[in-house]
Amino acid sequence: MCAAIAQTLGLSKSRIEALTDGIFATLMTVLVLGLALPPPGTSLRDELFGLWNHVLVYAMSFVVLGVYWVGHHNLFHYIKGTNRVFLWLNIMFLMTVGFTPFTTSVLGVFWLQQSAVALYGFNLMLPGLSLYLIWWYATRDHRLVDLDIDPHVVTTVKKRIVTGPVVYGIAIGLSFLEPIISLILYIVVLAYFILPGHIDIHFSRKHH
């Protein structure tokens, strides 16, 4: 049994997780660098209160990253092995997530402009699609999951993941009518992911 642990420590899965944790940790920190400091000499208090939309966007992106980190974590719970395709799908996921500091500061600076709102939604759509692809690839013919995985879990996770990109797609369309509606949708979809759902069953381990 101990030999099995030793093997697990050297496994690619744990290093993909380490890279993922590292990238998310850095992204969550780098986000705030987009908060531009007002130049010395201006009325500081007014300037700081004028940053409220930057702070809102920062907080929103931080929570988005949290949602994707948790989603990736939950998904990896079922992964039993890795291969080259799986690895590169994960790097693609990380690459799409890596754009968020850029699109976040664009949205902060160009507040409520249609292009900025759509770009932000488009950015957030991509990691969702990547996660969907990862899950589809891993579960297809039980490629990288247990043979006895509950089929209900496979379907529930699939549905849950696809919700994000679908809503972001609708939000991008609506941004041409009224950008603020898209923003509200971005926040609503976060609430959907933060509040408890079906896949939480495996997640509550207490007093084990």
Site for its own copies in 63-102 (CB under 8 A): 63, 66, 69-70, 73, 77, 80-84, 87-88, 91, 94-95, 98-99, 101-102
Per the structure block, which two tokens stand in for 174? 């609506």
Among 141, 148, 191, 196, binds its own copies (CB under 8 A): 196
Q: Is 17 in the site for its own copies (CB under 8 A)?
A: yes
Show the binding pattern over residues 122-161: x = contacts its own copies (CB under 8 A), - = does not. Answer: ---------------------xx-xx--------------
For residue 79, the cross-strand partners are 145
Per the structure block, which two tokens stand in for 148? 């006895």
Among 141, 151, 191, 204, binds its own copies (CB under 8 A): 204
Measured between alpha carbons, how far is 85 from 91 in angstroms, rounded to an integer? 10
Q: Is 9 in the site for its own copies (CB under 8 A)?
A: yes
Q: Is 19 in the site for its own copies (CB under 8 A)?
A: yes
Minimum CB distance to its own copies, residue 167 (Å): 20
Please report where in the chains the tokens 């488009």 appear, as a residue: 122
Q: Is 119 in the site for its own copies (CB under 8 A)?
A: yes
Q: Which is nearer to its own copies, 105 or 182 (CB)?
A: 105
Minimum CB distance to its own copies, residue 144 (Å): 6
Contacts of 13 (CB under 8 A, 6+ apart): 76, 79, 81, 82
Please report where in the chains the tokens 């420590």 appear, as a residue: 9
Measured between alpha carbons, how far is 132 from 178 in angstroms, rounded to an integer? 29
Q: Is 173 in the site for its own copies (CB under 8 A)?
A: no
Please answer whether residues 27 and 101 qualify as being in contact, where contact means their C-beta atoms are separated by less than 8 angstroms: yes
Per the structure block, which two tokens stand in for 59? 């907080």
